[in-house]
Amino acid sequence: MKDRNSFYITLITIVATLGGLLFGYDTAVISGAEKSIQSFLIDSMGLSSLVHGATISSALIGCIIGGSISGILASKLGRRNTLFLASGLFFVSALGSGNPEFLFFTKGEPSLSLLFMFNFYRILGGIGVGLASAVSPMYIGEIAPADIRGRLVSLNQFAIIFGMLVVYFVNWGIANGQSLEWINNTGWRRMFTSEAIPAALFGILLFFVPETPRYLAIKNKDEEALKILTKINGPDIAKEIFTDIKNSVKKSSAKLLSYGKVVIIIGILLSVFQQFVGINVALYYAPRIFESMGAGKDASMLQTVVMGLVNVIFTVVAIVTVDKWGRKPLLMIGSVGMAIGMIAIGTLAFLKIIGISTLIFIIIYTASFMMSWGPICWVLISELFPNKIRGKAVAVAVAAQWAANYFISSTYPAMMEFSSGLTYWFYGLMSIISLLFVWKMVPETKGKTLEEMENLWSINGKKYKVLK
């Protein structure tokens, strides 16, 4: 690997992971502004809690849309240009969400039309999240050398978590020392507008990174593709990879099911299980969970910070180990840890035992997820699909993930009202089923080029066997 340009690869990856950072930033920025939005746009007009909930979660609608169209755009516009579009959507959403009255309304006067515009801007940002969540790992996966691809794609998950942490501190910095009246009038606007800075930086830096060589090869831009491969891998390895890519493109078909249903089903189930194990419940509702277990408001926020630090630390564990241990072992270890954590939490809920033990098992659960299903799911989604169907297949998997996210997040309050113990046991059961799914169906992709992975999937998927 002496000819490999590690510095260049690192720079390209950092730029691409800004899409992940904005993913985390956009989904978490609402946390600091939620109560002000309720005061300004919901309570002031006497609207229901259902409207409040729909407004706070409206970005998820955009996420589903963005995930669904990501494949079409990535195939038509290219991976890099689709990320350009995402950065523009983030930028417009940031400015529009912070100033929804722009051009058409009087500032500070709530109305149903203004509420519609606010949701419109949030949905635009959600479309950006949906695009970035699909295309950023796809871009990194198609640029990265096989032996370090898992590590580099995992950096995107780290960027997502880091983006969430950044916006928590930004929101805190804006609100710190200010009156509630100022926050409700001005502070929440600055929280949303702050996203324009990383969005603009992302768009500017994208001018300095190349399109992926695999996309260029598909579009018959062979000279440009080989040039980028050479700059990344050195001339000798670049020629080998380029030959494999061209052979792959020639024998591939553009139809989604060209390689059978199995590869698509595996991609969808990876996405669905990543959500059905309940991680976004743990992240979105963490303060409420801790308060329901007896912690005071300040203590619950402190415990949430502890969870945030655990998320970062164990995502780093995944980055360090994914190309050494492999994808399957990490996913299976994570499933076991999540099952232990959630089943224990459910049991404690049934026994009405509240205390440090609950926090310990929540940390076990989140740590297990962050070292496994959090980053590794994205790694596999970027690797599994053959070149010619990758854009469409990733779009299907990501759309399924956002739909599962919306379902799990929206059903959590009703499930908890029915039985908190059964709710956590359900997520524990999903963790056990995810273990069996990985064991029986998911192939190991460690160290294989994307073209070698393609050999797993025969036409119609009849020859597929799980690689142990």
Q: Are residues 140 and 71 located together in one domain of the fold?
A: yes
CATH number at 121 reads: 1.20.1250.20
Query: Residue 160: inside a domain, yes or no?
Result: yes
Q: Are residues 19 and 155 in the same domain?
A: yes
Least confident window among 120-124, 251-255, 385-389? 251-255
- Looking at the structure, do residues 371 and 465 belong to the same domain, yes or no? yes
Do 135 and 196 lie in one domain? The reply is yes
Token pair of 375, please?
């980053």
Q: Which residues have C-beta within 8 Å of that of residue 461, sequence separation ≥ 6?
A: 259, 260, 261, 262, 263
pTM for this predicted structure = 0.77
Q: Using the 3D structure, point to which of 209, 230, 245 is the last residue of a domain.
A: 209
pLDDT tens digits for 86-108?
A: 999 999 999 999 999 887 877 87
Checking if the pLDDT of 381 tops 70, the result is yes
One domain for residues 67 and 177: yes
Residues of the domain holding 18: 1-209
For position 39, what pLDDT does the model report?
84
The yes-or-no verdict on residue 285 having pLDDT over 80 is: no
Cβ–Cβ under 8 Å, residues 214 and 142: yes
Between 82 and 394, the more confident residue is: 82
**Which one of 150, 174, 209 terminates a domain?**
209
In a domain, 151, yes or no: yes
Round the CA-based radius of gyration of the chain to a whole number and report it. Answer: 22
Spatial contact of 451 and 248, defined as CB atoms under 8 Å apart: yes
State the pLDDT at residue 378: 81
192 lies in the same domain as 264: no
Same domain, residue pair 319 and 178: no
Q: Which CB contacts under 8 angstroms, 24+ apart, belong to 144-148?
A: 144/9, 144/13, 145/1, 145/4, 145/9, 145/232, 145/233, 146/447, 146/448, 146/449, 146/450, 146/452, 147/1, 147/323, 147/447, 148/9, 148/323
Give the Cα separation of 268 and 270 in Å (integer): 5
Q: Which residues of 89-98 are buried (b: 16+ CB within 10 A; e: fewer)?
A: bbbbbbbbbb
DSSP 442: P
**Same-domain check for residues 1 and 104:** yes
User: What pLDDT does residue 27 have?
Assistant: 77
Query: Is 242 a domain residue?
Result: no
Alpha-carbon distance values, 212 to 77, 79, 418 (Å): 12, 7, 49
Instruction: Tell me which residue has tokens 């260049």.
Output: 8
Cα distances from 367 to residues 27, 178, 304, 310, 348, in angstroms, run 21, 35, 13, 6, 19
Among 220-229, 267-276, 285-294, whose mean pLDDT is lowest? 285-294
Assigned token pair, 342: 């959630």
User: How many CB atoms sit inside 10 A of residue 156's CB?
Assistant: 28
Q: Is residue 215 part of a domain?
A: no
Dist CA 258 CA 89 (whole Å): 33
Residue 457 pLDDT more than 90? no
278 plus 150 within the same structural domain: no
- What's the angle, vertex CA 280, arms to CA 415 and CA 394, rounded to 5? 120
Instruction: Give the alpha-carbon dihedral of 216, 221, 224, 229, to 10 degrees.
Output: 50
Among residues 142, 130, 167, 137, the alpha carbon closest in space to that of 155 is found at 137
Same-domain status, 275 and 394: yes
Assigned domain for 190 exists: yes
If 0-12 CB within 10 Å is exposed, 13-18 middle and 19+ buried, where does residue 48 land? exposed
Mean pLDDT (whole number) for 18-24: 89
Instruction: Please answer whether residues 72 and 391 qualify as being in contact, where contact means their C-beta atoms are separated by less than 8 angstroms.
Output: yes
Q: Tokens at residue 100, please?
A: 């929804």
pLDDT digit string, tens, across residues 189-241: 999 999 999 999 999 999 999 999 888 888 888 889 889 888 888 888 888 88
Question: Two tokens at 408?
Answer: 């799990």
Tell me, what's the pLDDT at 2? 61
Same domain, 200 and 61: yes
Whether 407 maps to a domain, the answer reads yes
Whole-number pLDDT of residue 354: 67
In a domain, 241, yes or no: no
Burial of 103 (C-beta count, 10 Å sphere; 0-12/13-18/19+): exposed
Decide: helix, strand or coil at residue 443.
Answer: coil
Residues 6+ apart with CB under 8 A from 176: none
The answer to whether the CB of 127 falls within 8 A of the CB of 62 is yes
Count: domains in the chain: 2
Q: Which one of 209, 231, 248 terminates a domain?
A: 209
Report the alpha-carbon distance of residue 144 to residue 92 in Å, rounded. 31
Q: Tell me, yes or no, whether 232 lies in a domain.
A: no
Q: What is the pLDDT of residues 156-168, one digit of tens each?
A: 878 888 888 788 7
Q: Are 318 and 154 in contact (CB under 8 A)?
A: yes
Confidence of residue 468 (pLDDT cuts 50, 70, 90): very low
Are 263 and 136 in a shared domain? no
